[in-house]
């Protein structure tokens, strides 16, 4: 098996502020052709920021696609020309006012690989200090602190449906246990 698809044609369907939708014709490894609908996305970043009291910082915000308020770790879309870590530091400050230290990568996440090219970069940090929140003018969030152990329970009890938040919480909890010799 070659496990590869060759792009034969690519047609732009929609170009928005955040996403670009394409309709591609591909050649499969058996020589047949198929159509692929792809959402191109600049990517994102998510930060699990831990307080000295072993609490994670969360934001509650209304998410229009779901028509509900979600509980998520601070996150945002990648800005052109910035690396993911710098983007993560900026998002953490903007959304929570926190300044982190000792950043550690938690890897990357493909949220919907069947049709979307978005890659979310995950980070863990310890909070050094707080400054003033710097929300975008169209951004409205409520900041909460939740003990790491409780956040992990919330993931396991299906109380946090956001995938990037789930993965970052579980990886952070595993790292903290390892650092504490557990």
- Quote the percentage of the chain above a pLDDT of 90: 90
Q: How many CB atoms lie within 10 A of CB 43?
A: 16
Number of domains in the chain: 2
pLDDT of residue 79: 82
Same domain, 57 and 144: yes
Whether residues 132 and 167 fall in one domain: yes
Q: What is the pLDDT of residues 73-103, one digit of tens each?
A: 999 999 877 899 999 999 999 999 999 999 9
| Domain of 12, in residue numbers | 6-40
Q: Under 8 Å CB-to-CB from 75, ≥6 apart: which residues?
A: 44, 45, 46, 47, 91, 120, 164, 165
The one catalytic residue among 32, 53, 68, 137: 137
- Are residues 171 and 121 both part of a single domain? yes
59 plus 100 within the same structural domain: yes
The token pair that represents 68 in the structure block:
């509900």
Q: What is the pTM of this model?
A: 0.93
On whether residue 32 sits in a domain, the answer given is yes
Same domain, 170 and 136: yes
- pLDDT higher than 80, residue 71: yes
CA distance 46 to 120: 7
Asked if residue 170 and residue 89 are part of one domain, the reply reads: yes
Please report the pLDDT score of residue 182 as a whole number.
80
Give domain status of residue 1, yes or no.
no
DSSP 182: -
86 among known catalytic residues: no
DSSP at 148: H
């Amino acid at each position: 098996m070659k496990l590869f698809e060759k792009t034969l044609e690519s047609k732009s369907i929609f170009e928005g502020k955040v996403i670009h939708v394409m309709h591609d014709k591909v050649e499969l490894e058996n020589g047949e052709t198929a159509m692929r609908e792809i959402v191109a996305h600049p990517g994102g970043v998510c930060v699990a920021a831990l307080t000295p009291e072993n609490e994670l910082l969360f934001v509650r915000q209304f998410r229009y696609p779901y028509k509900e308020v979600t509980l998520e770790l601070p996150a945002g879309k990648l800005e052109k020309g910035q690396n993911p870590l710098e983007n993560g530091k900026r998002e953490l400050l903007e959304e929570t006012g926190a300044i982190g230290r000792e950043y550690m990568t938690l890897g990357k996440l493909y949220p919907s690989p069947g049709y979307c090219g978005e890659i979310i970069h995950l980070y863990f940090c310890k909070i050094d200090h707080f400054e003033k929140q710097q929300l975008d003018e169209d951004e409205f969030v409520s900041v909460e602190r939740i003990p790491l152990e409780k956040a992990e329970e919330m993931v396991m009890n299906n109380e946090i449906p956001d995938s990037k938040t789930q993965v970052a919480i579980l990886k952070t909890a595993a790292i903290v246990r390892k650092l504490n010799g557990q």
